[in-house]
Structure 1
Amino acid sequence: MKRTLMLFILAASVSLSSCSKMLDVKSHSAVATNTLSEADVEAFLTGIYNRMQNAPGAESYISFDITGGNLINAGATSDGGLNTFITNVLRPENGLMSAAWNGYYSALFQVNNLLETLNNMPDTERKREIAGIAHFFRGYLYYNLATRWGGVPVLRKNTTAKVKRNTEAETWAFIEEELEQAIAQAPAYATGQYYQVSNIAAKALMARVKLAQNKMPEAGRLAEEVIGSGLFALDAFEKIFRATQNTEEIFSFKNLTIESSIRVSTLFYTYAHTVKGSYVYRPTQEVMDMFTAGDKRTAMSVETFQGLRVINKYPSGQSGTDPIVVVRLAEMYLISAEAHGRSGGLDRLNELRAFRGLDPIQPATDEAYIDAVLLERRKEFLGEGFRWYDLVRLGRAVQDLGIAEREVKFPIPMNELALNNLLEQNKNY
């Protein structure tokens, strides 16, 4: 890394173990923000990319697969204990809860520092672009927080004070505000540069945010604008998930081995596999059965190795890291399909199915249509962190997963409640 980047990593982004601890410390920048040069800010931005991809930890990227019925403990003798497995994960004392909460707020600390730094710099086009990138990241962080916990503390600036949770509506409104600024200010997309935040990536993420809130007309319009931009095209899974240049990714973390410890693949492969892994989670049999031989996603999604089921999207194992896809074009097809309903969205659903090697379908009812969209999303985004929240936002998680009513939200981590007495736990935890 550049020396300037290391200075910012050491000085501006102390590794903070929790949101409430973050609120109890002042900014640790070693230099006054009004003395930073444009080159310093570029190095700071590089540090933000690094922190954003690393801070929440590997399991944060697949937590909705873990809690959404796609995965189960690799040591389980059957899938019969799936409900118990999910309940054990969704405990206030579980490390997965605190790791994600701490990681998102730790990254937020850096993003807020960057935005504060920009306030003291002359107004230039590049300053506006960097601000747009920062707002994208802040919107993305809060999307991850809101989908897990609902209303959370919304911090426009770092503070030494303990704060209460904002309402869920206030949190979603803040996410939209951030992404609107990113759409207006982030750099334009350059062909093939999907490892850089762009204004079209912000628009794509906004489509996801609108869908999450059941704002279907807006979600459908935004998704169609991304599809119709001409900047992207559906591409083969072997390109997307084997780090080959492709036309489908809109924004991804490059996740280079030299700068990252995010090795999702070690959670999926056995040590006996050629890439080696810890084999923490395996796909359920239901997941294995939903793929067919004609589906072009099958080989890149799941595999059976020495009789054991594995997720195959992240192939590096202990040997390295794999890119982490944040948003890609197939999601826009499926957002448009869902948002426009059976009468207006079926063509988009069947376009995606045809590209993936499947025959067109003609659901007879609206309910059957939503079932078909959900199944397509489950197959398309296996191991990418969508399933649990897809069921939650559609009010189907309790019915489809057999989970308790309280488990449509993640519990606030136990250590956060102990450190910040203004936080209130989610209902019935």
Structure 2
Amino acid sequence: MNQYIKAILLIAIVGFSSCSEDFLTNYPTDSQESGGTATEGAILSNLGSCYQVLLFDSYANNNYNSIVLMSDLRSDDIFKGGGDAGDQGQLYRLSQLDATADELPEGLWTIYYNGLARCNNVILACENAVGVDEANLNQYKAEAHFLRAYYMHWLWKFWGNIPYFEEDLEAPYFARQFTADEVYAEIIEDVDFAIEGNKLPMAASGEDKGRVTKAAAMLLKARVVMYQQDETKYAEVLADMNEIYESGAYSLVDYASIWGRDGEFCDESIFETNQLPGEYGGKTWADGWTGFGTNLPAFISPNGLSGADQLSGLAIYKGGWGFGPVRPELVDIFEDGDMRKNASINHFADGTYTARFQNTGYFMAKYAAREGYNEPPGDVDLNYENNLRIFRYAEVLLNAAELIVMDGVAPVGQLTAEVAINEIRERAGLDPAAPTEELIKLERRREFIGEGIRFWDLVRWNEAGTLTENIPEFSSNRTWEPYKKYLPIPQSEIDKTEGEFKLIQNQGY
């Protein structure tokens, strides 16, 4: 399951781009800088460094910045947790919907702009390629365009109006700030490039597992189009979902089996990161820009754990830091017999762990710390091998049901709303049901707990007002305003820019 990443690690190390706090600085290779030609080895070296950015998701640039956690903290699924409100205070402010330009998780900004620069280098190298098979070259281009779109779509979702660039930057190494709509157009251009012309296989196999596929590009397009509420492209997206469905390349699997080591790159997996334990080169507290493990499991697991999960009866879990406790009302959204409940939420008895801030007794299970999943060298809490499942086949089905029922898009091919919603329910162990708007929204929440999707769904459904709350017993008092769709642009980044490139702060901050 780790064959591809083991091979690409070597070329990534050879072609590893320098990292800098100055996100707009592009670091081309010497041959690219001089306008010279690029061999296939040079292209693969740069491409390896693009994929490596996926592995920085949990800890890099001395910031905790798991994209699923940063997304879910603003939702109604979890609290911040940890030691107290001041423990990772920027995350508490994020969860309270009152982030400031000086206190927010800006590690995401640095990581994904680094990814943008690396993808630009690959695309430039492909334009200067010599002696490379045309089919291979087209695949490398498509992978780079997808990854650029993937990294930019997170910056776009979090910040909206952001700098964007595709060329080597000249001094003073600044780029124009695009509007959110302009960034959306650039992302769509990239994903369409990746989708068109069969440059990518519908599914990866063998040593290529972990590489970008056409299905992944189609799902990224769906996320972006549906978040933008771009009705002009809904029919295209539904046609893409049907193409994935009719390809037969993917299928639902036992839900609980997805999240452990044996579920990596299963038949449901469309795109996932490929984390490795410390023995392959571990992250360290001194250098978060290297290594291939993830910190997320340690971050979200109960502190000082000594007992088994009471919901599943499993004793495979390890202790961690106690962040991201699950809100108790989330347990009640499941129907009796829904297999997803125990696979998504852990519950540990009082006295089997150390209760921390905003403790509920419930914790996220999918990426929970498991015995035997982290090995030295490297610092063990940074180096769990749990892959992040970015796109799953279940999203194809739920996207289709939503587009047909909630947006009125005419079904195409074999994929109807009834087929889609009831494949999801059958896998969960539930009886068939009519695909109503209420049920589709509920099934999305049940299906994607802990996967960083809930907040973005509420925003695009214009239902984020439900996030306003005052819950003294859990120290959560927050108010939603529409401008909070975007975070404030980091003041440190504004301070770096000047003149015509001076960054303008988002409205409301």
TM-score category (smaller protein): 0.7 to 0.9
Corresponding residue for residue 405 of structure 1 = 482
> Is contact 1:194–1:249 with CA below 8 Å preserved after alignment?
no
Matches within 5 A, 1:207-246: 207-214=222-229, 215=231, 216-245=234-263, 246=266
Using the TM superposition, give the Cα deviation of residue 217 of structure 1 relative to its aligned residue in structure 2, in angstroms.
2.4
Distance 2:71 2:292 in 1: 22
Corresponding residue for residue 115 of structure 1 = 123
Q: Aligned to 2:487, what secondary structure does the other structure show? A: coil
Distance 1:350 1:222 in 2: 20
1:262 aligns with 2:294: yes
Corresponding residue for residue 366 of structure 1 = none
- What TM-score, normalized to structure 2? 0.75
Using the TM superposition, give the Cα deviation of residue 44 of structure 1 relative to its aligned residue in structure 2, in angstroms.
2.6
Corresponding residue for residue 302 of structure 1 = 345
Distance 1:52 1:311 in 2: 21
Distance 1:362 1:202 in 2: 30
- Distance of aligned partners of 1:32 and 1:212 in 2 relative to their CA distance in 1, 3 Å threshold: closer
Corresponding residue for residue 183 of structure 2 = 171
Deviation track 1:262-304 (CA, whole Å, cap 9, x = no partner) reads: 2211121123234221112211112222234511112211011
Corresponding residue for residue 418 of structure 1 = 495
- Distance of aligned partners of 1:371 and 1:423 in 2 relative to their CA distance in 1, 3 Å threshold: farther
Using the TM superposition, give the Cα deviation of residue 108 of structure 1 relative to its aligned residue in structure 2, in angstroms.
1.0
Distance 1:40 1:310 in 2: 44
Q: Aligned to 1:220, what secondary structure does the other structure show? A: helix
Q: Please, which of 186, 197, 200 is the counterpart of residue 187 of structure 1?
A: 200
Corresponding residue for residue 283 of structure 2 = none
Deviation track 1:205-225 (CA, whole Å, cap 9, x = no partner) reads: 222222223233232222122
Using the TM superposition, give the Cα deviation of residue 361 of structure 1 relative to its aligned residue in structure 2, in angstroms.
3.0
Q: Aligned to 1:68, what secondary structure does the other structure show? A: coil
Corresponding residue for residue 111 of structure 2 = 103
Q: Aligned to 1:22, what secondary structure does the other structure show? A: coil
Corresponding residue for residue 371 of structure 1 = 438
Q: Which amino acid aligns with 2:200?
A: P
Q: Please, which of 257, 280, 287 is the counterpart of residue 323 of structure 2?
A: 280
Higher helix share: 1
> Is contact 1:263–1:322 with CA below 8 Å preserved after alignment?
no
Using the TM superposition, give the Cα deviation of residue 232 of structure 1 relative to its aligned residue in structure 2, in angstroms.
0.4
> Is contact 2:75–2:454 with CA below 8 Å preserved after alignment?
yes
Using the TM superposition, give the Cα deviation of residue 252 of structure 1 relative to its aligned residue in structure 2, in angstroms.
0.7
CA-based RMSD of the aligned residues comes to: 2.7
Q: Please, which of 354, 359, 376 is the counterpart of residue 431 of structure 2?
A: 359
Using the TM superposition, give the Cα deviation of residue 329 of structure 1 relative to its aligned residue in structure 2, in angstroms.
0.6
- Distance of aligned partners of 1:26 and 1:222 in 2 relative to their CA distance in 1, 3 Å threshold: closer
Corresponding residue for residue 384 of structure 1 = 451
Deviation track 1:190-246 (CA, whole Å, cap 9, x = no partner) reads: 346541111222122222222223233232222122111110011112232113252
**For this pair of structures, how many residues does the alignment match?**
413
1:47 aligns with 2:49: yes
> Is contact 2:156–2:184 with CA below 8 Å preserved after alignment?
yes
- Distance of aligned partners of 1:22 and 1:77 in 2 relative to their CA distance in 1, 3 Å threshold: closer
Q: Which amino acid aligns with 1:132?
A: A
1:92 aligns with 2:106: no
> Is contact 2:75–2:467 with CA below 8 Å preserved after alignment?
no
Unmatched 5+ residue regions in structure 1? 364-368
Q: Aligned to 2:431, what secondary structure does the other structure show? A: coil
